[in-house]
Structure 1
Amino acid sequence: MMVSQSALARSVAEKVARESYGRLVAYLGGRSGDLASAEDALAEAFLAALEKWPDTGVPDNPDAWLLTIARRRRLDDWRKEKVRKKSADHLDLVADELSAATDLDEGIPDRRLALMFACAHPSIDAAARTPLMLQTVLGLTAMDISARFLVSPKTMGQRLVRAKARIRDEKIPFLVPEREELPTRLPPVLASIYAAYTNGWMEIDGAKALGHEAIWLARVVVSLLPQEPEAKGLLALMLYAEARRSSRRDPDGGFVPLDEQDVGLWDLAQLQMAEGLLREANANGPTGRYQIEAAIQSAHVARCLSGVSNWQAVVSLYDVLERIAPSPVVTLNRSVALARMGHTDAALADIDALAGDIRMADYLPYWAARAQICADLGKRAEAVEAFTIAVGLCWSEGERRYLEERRSRILS
C-alpha cells in the first residue's frame, strides 16, 4: 500500500510540474520579481510533497498545496532578510503575501503571459530571453536549454542567472506591455511558445501536455494582438500539426510518415481553424516566418487530402522562407521537397553543402533525409551509413523501428 501511495504521489507531482510549473512560478514571482527565489521555494515545495503525500494522501488541490508551502518558505526567507536588513520593503512584501493567502478561492491567477513579456523586456539580454521563458514558464533545466541553443550548460546557466537578477534588481514588472510596445517584444515570446509546442509535439519526456499549453498561450497572444499576423501564423502552424497528431502512430506505436497517414483520423475542425487564421494573417500585413511555415503545412494538408502533387509550391514557399528566415533546417527541408519533385541530385548537393555545419552532426532529420535521398539515387553504402547514424540518434521507439525497416529494405 505504501509503495502504491508513493507512486501516486510521484505521478501527481510530475503531472503538476509539467502542467502548472510556469503558472506557479509566475504567481510566486509576480509581486517581488525574484524568479530565482520563487523557483527555489517551489522546488522545496515539490520535495515536501514527495515526502508528505505518500503518508497524508494527495490533496484535492495539489497546485494550491504546493503554492501554500512555497509561500511559507518565501515568508520565512523574507523574515530572515528583514531582520538582517531591517527593511520596511520586506515587511510590505510579507503583508502582501499573507493577504494573498485568502485569494485562492477562485483558483490561482494565471500570469504566465505577463511573465513571458517580463522575460522579453528590452533590458534582458536578447540571447537570454527565450531560454529564460523556457526555464521559468516550462520548467526546463539549463542543461536541456543549452543543448537546444548549442552552448555549454555552464554558459547557459550563467545567462539565466544574470537575466533573473536583472528582472529582480531593475524591478521589471510582470505586466503585458502597452499595445504600441508589443510588436518589438513579441518575437521572443512567439519563439518560446513554438519551442514549447515542439517539445510537446515530439513528446519529449512525456511532455505532450506542453503542446496544449503552447496552443493555449498562442491563443492568448492572438486575443491580445488580433491584428498581429505572426501571432496568427504561429497559432495556425501549431493547429495544422496538432490536427494530425492522432495519425502519426499506427496501432502498434510505429511512426507513420505524412504522406502515408490516414487522413480520416485528422481533426478537420482544427484544420479549418488553421486555414481561417492563415487567411486572416495574410490579410493583416507583412508576411513573416510563421506565416510561411503555416502555408507550407497548408500545402502538405492540401496534397494529402486531394492526392494532387504540389511539391513545386512547397519548394517555392521554402524559397521565400530562406529569404526572410534563412537557416540550415530550411535548406534541409527544401532539399527534401526537391527530391520529392524528382530533382534528387540537386537535393543531395544541397545536403552535402550542409555537411560542414556542426549543428547537423547530431540532427536526426538531416541524417534521415540524407539516407533516403542516397537510397533514391542508388547510393546503397551511403544510405545505409546515414540510416545507421539516424537510428543511433533516434530516441523514439516508433521512429527507430521505421528507420530500421527502411535500412533493412536497402540491405535485402
Structure 2
Amino acid sequence: MGRVIVTGETAAHVAERTARASYGRLVALLAAPAGDLQLAEDTLAHAFEQALTTWPRDGVPDNPEGWLLTVARNRQRDLWKSAAHRRNQPLEAATDAVEPLNDLEPDRIPDRRLALLFVCAHPAIAAGVRTPLMLQAVLGFDAAQIARAFAVPAGTMSQRLVRAKRRIRDAGIPFVVPGRQAMPERLPPVLEAVYGCYALAFSERGEGTSVAGEARYLAVTIAGLLGDAPEAWALAALLTLASARATTPGDRYLPLQDQDPGEWDRDLIAEGESYLRLAERPGQAPGRFQLEAAIQAVHCDRARSGATDWDTLCTLYTALVAIAPSLGSRVAYAAVLGRTRSPQMGLSVLEALPVERERFQPYHAAHGDLLARLGRHEDAVAAYTRASMLSTDPAVRTFLERRAEELSR
C-alpha cells in the first residue's frame, strides 16, 4: 500500500476519523467468519493500537480501513492458530491466510453491516439489549453513551452488552440477513438502533453529523432493501426530514422554534416527504416511526407556511404516546401540551414520569421551560442547571446555562 508521511498528531486524527466512519463496517467484516463479536472488537482494537504506533513513524496508508482490516484479520488468524484457541475452535477457521487489502469492497460492506444488525436482533438475544448491542457493535457507540440514552447506569449497560455478545457466540447465531418470514420480528429493534444512532450522533455536533448522515443512509438502504415495509420507509422519512433542519453551526445551538426555516434544505424536505408517502397504508393505523415522521413533516412545513401547526402536533403526540410511550416521547408530549393547552397541564404529565427521568437530560430541559412559563423562576433555574450538567454537547450546555442565568436576574 502507498503511504503519506504525516505527523503523529495527524496520524492520530486519521485513526480517530476512521474509527468514527468505519468501525461498524470493520466489525461486521471481522465478526462474520466465526460469529464472535467480542473477538472482532478485540482484534480491531489491537489494529488501532498498532496504527497509533506505526502510522506516526511510517506514514498513514492510502487506505486506512484496508490496513486496519488486514491487521485485525491477521490477529484473528494468529489467535485461531494458537494452541489455547485450538482447543476451543475448529482448525478450519484459521487455515486461510489474509492478504493485504487495497479496497474494502464498498458495494458489499453495507450488506455485511445490515446482516450484523439483524444478527443482533435475533430472538435468542434478550429483547431489552438488542438495540443497545447494535448501537455498540455495529454503529460504534460506547457503553457510557448508550447508557445515557437509555437512562441506565453505565456499568449495568456494559454487563448487558457483554452477556449479549457471549450469547451470539455460544448459540452459533448465523451472520446472515434473515428470510422474509423472520423480518417482522427482527425489523423493529434494527430500526430502533438506526434511529438511536442518528439521535446520539447528531447530539455530538461537528464530527457527529457524519455518523448521523450514515444512519440516514442505513435507514434509506434498509427501506429500499425491504421495499414494502411501511415503518422502514417512515424511518427513512423521519431521518431525512430531521436532516433537512440540521443547519445550525457546530458551535451554536438553536431550539427549533428559533431556527430560520429559510436555511433548511428544501431538497431533503421533498425527499423526506416522498418517503413518508411510501410509508402510507390506507386503512392501516400508522406505526411509531410514521407518527414521528409526520411530526417532523409538520415542523418542516413551517418553511412553506411560516407557522407551526401546534394543534396537529398535539394530536400526533397524543397518538404517539398511546402506541410508543417511551421516556422521550412522553417528555416531548408534555412540552407540546404546555404550549397548546397550559404549562400546568404539561408539568403534570412531566412530573408523573418514572424515576428514570432523573438521568434523562431532555426531561430537565423541558421541566425548566414549563416552570419558567409558570413564573417559577427559581425552580426553573435548578432544572436548567441540572439539564446542562447532564448534557454532553457543549453548545447545548452553553444554551441551557444561558437560560438559567437569564432567569436568575
The answer to whether TM tops 0.5 is yes
Task: Say yes or no: does 1:55 pair with 2:57.
Answer: yes
1:407 aligns with 2:408: no
Task: Write the letter of the residue equivalent to 2:44.
Answer: L
Which amino acid is the alignment partner of residue 105 of structure 2?
Answer: G
Asked whether the 8 Å contact 1:249–1:256 carries over to 2, the reply is no
Aligned equivalents of 1:137, 1:220: Cα separation in 2: 15
Match of 1:398 in 2: 395
Higher alpha-carbon deviation: 173-182 or 202-211: 202-211
1:24 aligned to 2:23? Answer: no
Query: Which amino acid is 2:406 matched to?
Result: R
- Whole-Å separation in 2 of the counterparts to 1:276 and 1:153: 39
User: Size of the alignment, in residue pairs?
Assistant: 401
Q: Does 1:310 align with 2:309?
A: yes
Deviation at 1:22, TM superposition (A): 1.1
Q: Amino acid of the residue matched to residue 390 of structure 2?
A: L
- Which one of the candidate residues 254, 261, 264 is aligned to 2:262? 264
Judging changes above 3 Å, is the alpha-carbon distance between structure 1 residues 86 and 154 closer, same or farther for their aligned structure 2 residues?
closer
The one-letter amino acid of 2:233's match is K
> Secondary structure, in 3 states, of the residue corresponding to 2:325?
coil
CA contact (8 A) 1:281 1:291 kept: yes
Within 2, Cα distance between the matches of 1:388 and 1:199? Answer: 21
1:94 aligned partner: 94
Amino acid at match of 2:67: W
Give me the whole-angstrom Cα distance separating, in 2, the residues matched to 1:348 and 1:313.
Answer: 20
Please list the CA deviations of residues 180-234 of structure 1 after superposition, one character each: whole Å capped at 9, or x if unmatched: 2111110111111111101121026943222111111111210121111111111
Instruction: Give 1:289's aligned residue.
Output: 288
1:345-375 alpha-carbon deviations (Å, 9 max, x no partner):
2122222323xx2222132222222222222
Calculate percent identity across the aligned residue pairs.
Answer: 42
- SS state at 2:20 partner: helix
Q: Which residue identity does 2:59 align to in structure 1?
A: G
Question: 67-76 vs 198-207, which deviates more?
Answer: 198-207
Q: Determine the C-alpha separation between the residues in 2 that align with 1:161 and 1:367.
A: 31
Q: 1:27 to 1:106 in 2, by over 3 A?
A: closer
CA deviation after TM superposition for structure 1 residue 152, in Å: 4.0
5+ residue gaps in structure 1?
none
Report the equivalent of 2:375: 378
SS of 2:138's partner is helix
| Gap change, CA 1:392 and 1:132, over 3 Å in 2 | closer
Segment drifting more, 197-206 vs 50-59: 197-206
| Residue in 2 that maps onto 1:344 | 343
Asked if residue 233 in structure 1 is aligned to residue 234 in structure 2, the reply is yes
Q: Does 1:320 align with 2:322?
A: no
1:298 aligned partner: 297
Q: Indicate the SS of the match to 2:183.
A: helix
Label 1:132 to 1:401 Cα distance change in 2 as closer, same or farther (>3 A). closer
Match of 1:216 in 2: 217
Structure-2 separation of matches of 1:86 and 1:297 = 51
Does the Cα contact within 8 Å between 2:245 and 2:300 map onto a contact in 1?
no
The one-letter code of the counterpart of 2:213 is: H
SS of alignment partner, residue 372 of structure 1: helix
Of 382-391 and 208-217, the range deviating more from structure 2: 382-391
**What secondary structure, in the 3-state scheme, does the structure 2 residue paired with 1:138 have?**
coil
Give yes or no for contact 1:292–1:317 (8 Å, CA) kept in 2: yes
SS of residue matched to 2:176:
coil
CA distance in 1 between counterparts of 2:134 and 2:149 reads 13
Equivalent AA in structure 2 for residue 386 of structure 1:
A
Contact 1:311 1:338 in 2 (8 A): no
CA distance in 2, matches of 1:281, 1:209: 26
Tell me if 1:128 matches 2:159: no
Task: Specify the alignment match of 1:363 in structure 2.
Answer: 360
* Greater shift in the superposed pair: 394-403 or 344-353: 394-403
Amino acid at match of 1:184: E
Q: Distance in 1 between matches of 2:222 and 2:36?
A: 24
Report the AA paired with residue 43 of structure 1: A
State which drifts further: 77-86 or 402-411: 77-86
Q: CA RMSD in A?
A: 2.4
Report SS of the residue matched to 1:292: helix
Unpaired stretches in structure 2, ≥5 consecutive residues: none
Distance 2:363 2:159 in 1: 31
The one-letter code of the counterpart of 2:315 is S
Q: Specify the code of the residue in structure 1 equivalent to 2:278.
A: E
TM-score (norm 1): 0.90
Distance 1:376 1:349 in 2: 14
State whether residues 249 and 398 of structure 1, in contact with CA within 8 Å, keep that contact through their aligned partners in structure 2: no
Decide which of 44, 47, 71 is 2:46's aligned counterpart.
44
Separation of aligned partners in 1, 2:408 and 2:104: 62
Of 55-64 and 171-180, the range deviating more from structure 2: 171-180
Query: Structure 2: which amino acid aligns with 1:405?
Result: R
Rounded to whole Å, the distance in 2 between the matches of 1:329 and 1:84 is: 47
- SS of match in other structure, 1:143: helix
Which residue does the alignment assign to 2:275? Answer: 277
Q: Deviations over 1:31-68 (max 9, x none)?
A: 11112111111111110000001110000011111111
Distance 2:66 2:36 in 1: 20
- Residues 261 and 302 in structure 2, CA contact (< 8 A), matched pair in contact too: no
Match in the other structure for 2:74: 72
Check whether the contact 2:6–2:60 (CA below 8 A) recurs between aligned residues.
no
Change in CA separation of 1:305 and 1:337 when aligned onto 2, cut-off 3 Å: farther
Deviations 1:318-339 (A, max 9, x none): 1111111113332221222122
Q: Which has the higher helix share?
A: 1
- Determine the structure 2 residue equivalent to 1:254: 252
Moved more, 236-245 or 73-82: 73-82
Alignment of 1:137-176 (within 5 A): 137-176=138-177
